[in-house]
Chains A and B, each alone.
Chain A
Amino acid sequence: MSLIHFDAMRLPAHCQELRKEVRAFLEGEIAAGTFDPERPEVGEKNADEFSRRVGAKGWIGMTWPKKYGGQERSFLERYVVTEEMRIANAPVRRFFVADRQSGPTLIRYAHEKTKRDVLPRIIRGELFFCIGMSEPNSGSDLFAASTKATKTDGGWLINGTKVWTSSAHIADYMIGLFRTSGSTKENRRHGLTSFLVDMKTPGITCRPIGQMSGQRDFNEVVFQDAFIPDDHVIGEVDGAWKQATSELAYERSGPERFLETYGALLALSNAAGSKPDVRVTVGIGRLVAQLHTLRRMSVSVAGMLEAGREPVVEAAIVKDLGTVWEQGLPHRVRELASLLDLEDDEEDAFRNKLDFELKIAPKLTIQGGTTEVLRGIIARGLGLR
């Protein structure tokens, strides 16, 4: 039998109905001036109110248990909401991390009291999460993390530094990975624990790190005797490594793993018009074929997740192929655009858009699991490791 299997999963009819509802909502928000697909800075300003309105629609944490304020809707419905938001270039950053991974982690492993406190607020679009994984000496090698959590009365004291932490300066909470004891000879992954960190805790300092794309999103987060209460421990002390795998499939296989530079394709399509040079037509056809295939793979993984399977290898494949593709996309678009005859102002607008996509491209195969890490996972799935 085949080593790798992807079913031809189709989104059910009720998902396509939901899609219409999401589109109508987004069109309304654009009309109201909450965000502008072409000018992300507009949405950035209104991200808080947008987040609350999405929450009011019931589209944050929509798959989560009703007792925490969720809707218990299907993972496929969430998929549709996610992709429509991406395509519209809506300002989702405010709630996306919590919706995608922080919330599911809390539901599975956090203390009941913490869940009842935090989850309803995420669902209402009020809480912003960041992820504290990387450190100056620990990137892909997660288990080299050395930021310490030391037991004290009623909780833990955190000391050390996290880096490349996206949005830490504006986030309400972090889910961080800290060292609670040393690794053992038998298991170098032992000794790390997940914590829910209130970012307003005294002893936490965020220092901005500028990015080559001009974005200002990275932070260095320094902890100096920052106190975290016991009920903010997530899961087993020293056993965080057991908790990592299943959430990664959600994190890695979503539409955001191949649509990040979709704007470049849209800009090309805009500039090309309805009857461009035949080479441009061929180029667009090929890119669309590749994009369609990636989306079909991603939907297939969504179907596996909905069916309760843990498609860790399949999700790694989607992220590997998807991010490599979206990274190359602005470069392919650049080559094709060279064949177009554009007026000065058209060319400026196009360049502006393309330059942004070219500048963000390098990070796409690094964030959330590098290409190399993903290929290691796939190789393990093939029985090579």
Chain B
Amino acid sequence: MIAANQPVQRPSNAKVLMVDGRGNIKHHVRSDLANLLRRGDVVVANDAATLPASLSGQHCRTGCSIEVRLAGRPSLAEVRQYSAVVFGEGDFRTRTESRAEPPTLNPGDQLELGRLRATVVRLLNHPRFILMRFEGSSREIWEGLARHGRPIQYSHIPTPLAVWDTWTTIAGPPVAFEPPSAGFALDWNMLASMRARKIGFGTITHAAGLSSTGDPQLDALLPFAEPYRIPRSTASMIEHAQASHGRIIAVGTTVVRALEHSAEISNGFVPPGEQLATQRLGASSRLRIVDAVLSGTHERGSSHYELLRAFVNDETLGRIDQELNAYHYRTHEFGDSVFLEKADNQMRSAGHPSVAA
């Protein structure tokens, strides 16, 4: 695969590799996606807008330059307290893995990040993974984040990302730390095409966290706990689709995580409301809600890739990798997409009686 190195969300030649429940692979133009779905399907996307979560400044006790990357929040409404990964001097042009270490961080240390002031509350089982707390009013914190924060940058994209590069067309609440990038495929025209074809569309808000920290120990903990909210309208759309055998199609791995977490704690239902997703999905996970996922192309070993193993077996994933390479698919956030139907042998129970039953 080729790294997508331009921040263009919907290049006209974007592709989608589609895998049906029997493992058959086809290649399509991604802008044609609405025509590849079925009447009665429900598409669910993550409408979180991306916070400019990279904050540069200094560690007051030592005077050292640091970059703080906000990584997680305990709830969607939380403004003051975040988990964060701290880097030493340098910027995005250096690969995350090669970045300088920050100074030793201790509880109580003050951080000066532009106009924002914050305190290290405690370390989170790692010398540069912290719980931090901003000072000031919520108005001052929002203004500080909006004005001083920069989008988390990627070393494979040579020009700095602007904040609008990181927002999907449907972006709403600014609660994600990295873009829910599968949603880059959507635009208002595609939503209108879906509506014309009687395909439902709903959103959830899921605070997507950091995708990589550059530290193998920390990366092993990914994904961190992520709060999500399911609106009443989306919950009822899912319930309706389940009752009428429509498919639930998740746009992005964050949506899979949220809907499956919701079903796990609510006996197979997806009620409206806010929860904290803590689980990891992988080969052994049983999918109760989601029938197919539209995702970016992910590298083997990443938590996103692991999640795809819940949909298809390793043999199919291997063939997908071969096809992605053979057809020069572009990878990373601004790359092409895959659309994976859950393998037929991964039958679900709730609401979907098996044909053979």
Tell me if chain B binds chain A.
no
